[in-house]
Structure 1
Amino acid sequence: MGRRKVEIKRIQDKNSRQVAFCKRRKGLLKKAKALSILCDVDVAAVIFSNSGRLHEFSNANSVTGILQRYKSHVEAEKEISAEIQVAEHSKYSRFMTVGELLQRTERQLEETNADGLTVTDLIHLENELQTAIIQIRSRKEKQLLEENKFLEDNIARIKKNRKKMATDFTDLPPPHIICGQQRVTLNFF
């Protein structure tokens, strides 16, 4: 007789639900501890029961410390993505699209009565169009190079921040488990 697969749905019987909660909570905290030890990572688990009881685990100094690291990481990511969006918008807004260039050329042809143009005039317009396309391509290449440099700088800054965060927590005391029976109040940001 082996284990049977448990259907994941709410357990209706209150006592069975409480027993399952206790067993699965212990299992989850055990897995969190194993993950932190085996992979040498910082782990925090926060669980609130139906009765409002707090159960937590942290292999670092405190759950609050890990939450602060999380908050600073999220803020840094938001700041970088905002910078990228602003930079992309300002770079693309000053260039004329190919469609706009074609419309402009078409308007010029309509205004000048293309039927009355000589072959030399048409060749001259074609050369102007080719020159404009070459200029747009060179601008876009320059823009892509600038954008790549900007992204490389951001990646380097993120890596530097991650290394700094990792070194900030190397001098902490050894990890510990906070008892599930004790009531602790957390201030979330």
Structure 2
Amino acid sequence: MGRGRVQLKRIENKISRQVTFSKRRAGLLKKAKEISVLCDADVALIVFSPKGKLFEFATDSSMDRILERYERHTYAQQELLPTNSELEVNWCLEYPKLRNRIEVLQRNISHYMGDALDALSLRELQYLEQQIDTGLKRIRSRKNLLFQESISNLQKRERELEQQNNMLAKKVVRENEKELTERVQLEQQNRLALTSSPFILPPPPAPITLPLTIGNSFRASDPAMEEAGIPERPNINALLPPWMLRHLNE
């Protein structure tokens, strides 16, 4: 079972307090020695027992040197840190300077805007004009640089769009060629199937035009009937009796 956490308060029992001091002192000296060896640090440790006995530890450099170094460092820090009175004096001196600086800046801004120019002399106006010209040159230079960057980006975008357009055009051409090839192959297959099939219908016969009848009888001889192979029919007038012919004529 591990040891519980020790409550940090004064040990009332004198014997226990002395035993604890001896143990913790030995551990503290050991840790100081370890950190001086591992980290190559100058360590000085001073411990007084409850009875006033001194225990100390110092690295290779003596205790006096480490203490002198500590005093110099502390004194230098105190020299750097100003007191409250010095801070107040510094702020009182800085306030008028900062106020005058703000007024000068505001006046320069109004001059750059073209206001309050009556109080300026010829030399001051020339100096102001030179400053404005210098500022305009810098502004134009920056503007031209931004224009060039924008044009470069637009040209780059144009090239990318042209490449995409060319790729799409090539893709469309390939698809059209593929579709045309498939159509030609399908037509060839259909033609081959029609030519190789044994069941082929004969062509439809030519229409036969019959001769017109005049007076309820066919013509004596018609070339169209001869070409069609239709035999001539006998004259109906020669076969009917005379009284029937009179009746038909009426």
Interval of TM-score (by shorter of Structure 1 and Structure 2): 0.3 to 0.5
Is the radius of gyration larger for structure 1 or structure 2? 2
TM-score by length of 2: 0.36
